Amino acid sequence: MEDELPFQNLLFLFILKKYSTELIRGIPSLVVAAMFLVNVFGPLYWQSRWFFFFTGLVFLGIIYLEDPSTYLVGLA
């Protein structure tokens, strides 16, 4: 198991480096899709604690990609 970790990390970094601009360009469409899903499935899903958890993760991810230093200052 430990022998696979360096290779997986390098593969992840390679994919991240190669496709990072496409991922960042795709964020607005992901936000719109998330808002659509919330509007459609929100009444069924609203009582769930996972909704708030994942919504918080999405906002933290957006803040981090917009300005990583803001995210780090917010954690401190």
Rounded Cα distance, 59 and 21, in Å: 19
pLDDT given for residue 45 in this prediction:
60
pLDDT band for 1, please (50, 70, 90 cuts): very low
pLDDT tens for 21-73 read 666 666 777 777 777 777 766 666 656 666 677 777 777 777 666 665 655 55
Rounded Cα distance, 45 and 55, in Å: 12
Predicted TM-score (pTM) of the model is 0.30
Rounded Cα distance, 27 and 62, in Å: 8
pLDDT given for residue 35 in this prediction:
76
Which residue has tokens 């997986």? Answer: 8
Domain ranges of the chain: 4-75
pLDDT given for residue 64 in this prediction:
66
